[in-house]
């Protein structure tokens, strides 16, 4: 039990970049130690496993990196997704922006279990996402000049993939690809078609914060159309692009 508590504290501290939410980390540890009723175990054992890949866009165009209120809103929604997971589900968290592995070497991978309960994992990931503006402000994470969404998705399809269980990819991003593939912020720019169907079998692609930085309803609609087309061509069953919720 003591080891579980230490692990919970260490995980939460690592997620928020050095312990500036130590009180919250202790609360997360306490939650991990609370006894579980039998109904809790049976309920979660009966939920089919899912895989959730969460990617935080650290590019300078993404309002999440400097808006604590918006970061908290995204964190709450992602946390709700994780809390609904059953045992044996997987949660993977990454960052992206520039096409540079050294700039985006953060990774957090966990399997939901009795020791890693969904509500505890959700709390840790919520702390990470809501704390992103502070991590950037403190220099623990670097705001980046480009937005390589397509390159990140390509890496995710090869490194994590969609096999074995229903898989959702959630991007905390404004959705404005800015790379050698396309400057999607330019008028009349279009996402290139994917090479085959790299996400065949994946459940859904979600973009939370689509068009948030542009503050233009018509631009949000355009971006949603581009990503909806691309997602279905790439093999995703569903696409959801939300500016607000």
- Provide the whole-model pTM: 0.85
First to last CA, the chain: 39
Higher pLDDT, 24 or 116: 116
The pLDDT value given to residue 213: 83
- CA–CA separation, 123 and 142 (whole Å): 23
Instruction: Average the pLDDT over 170-184 and give the result.
Output: 97
Residue 242's SS3 state is strand
Higher pLDDT, 17 or 174: 174
Q: Is residue 181 scored above 60 in pLDDT?
A: yes
Grade residue 30 by pLDDT with cuts at 50, 70 and 90.
low
CB contact set of 214 (below 8 Å; sequence gap of 6+): 174, 176, 185, 220
- CA–CA separation, 196 and 233 (whole Å): 8
Fold of 40-242: Rossmann fold (3.40.50)
Q: Is residue 15 scored above 80 in pLDDT?
A: no
Grade residue 23 by pLDDT with cuts at 50, 70 and 90.
very low
Residue 207, H or E segment: strand 204-208
List where CATH 3.40.50 sits in the chain.
Answer: 40-242
Residue 161's SS3 state is coil
């Amino acid at each position: 039990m003591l080891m579980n508590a230490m692990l919970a504290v260490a995980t939460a501290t690592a997620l928020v970049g050095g312990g500036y939410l130590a009180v919250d980390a202790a609360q997360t540890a306490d939650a991990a130690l609370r006894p579980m009723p039998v109904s809790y175990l049976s309920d979660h054992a009966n939920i089919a496993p899912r895989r959730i890949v969460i990617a935080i866009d650290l590019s300078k165009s993404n309002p999440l990196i400097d808006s604590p209120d918006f970061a908290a809103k995204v964190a709450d929604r992602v946390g709700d997704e994780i809390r609904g997971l059953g045992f044996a589900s997987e949660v993977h968290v990454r960052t992206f922006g520039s096409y540079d592995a050294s700039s985006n070497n953060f990774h957090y991978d966990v399997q939901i279990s009795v020791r890693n309960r969904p509500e505890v994992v959700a709390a840790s990931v919520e702390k990470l996402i809501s704390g992103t503006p502070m991590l950037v402000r403190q220099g623990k994470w670097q705001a980046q000049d480009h937005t390589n969404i397509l390159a990140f998705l390509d890496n995710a399809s090869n490194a994590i993939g969609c096999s074995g269980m229903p898989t959702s990819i959630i991007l905390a991003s404004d959705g404005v690809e800015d790379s050698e593939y396309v400057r999607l912020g330019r008028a009349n720019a279009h996402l290139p078609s994917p090479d085959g169907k790299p996400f065949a079998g994946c459940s859904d692609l979600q973009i939370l914060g689509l068009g948030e930085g542009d503050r233009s309803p018509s631009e949000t609609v355009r971006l949603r159309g581009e990503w909806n087309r691309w997602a279905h061509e790439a093999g995703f069953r569903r696409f959801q692009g939300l500016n607000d919720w």
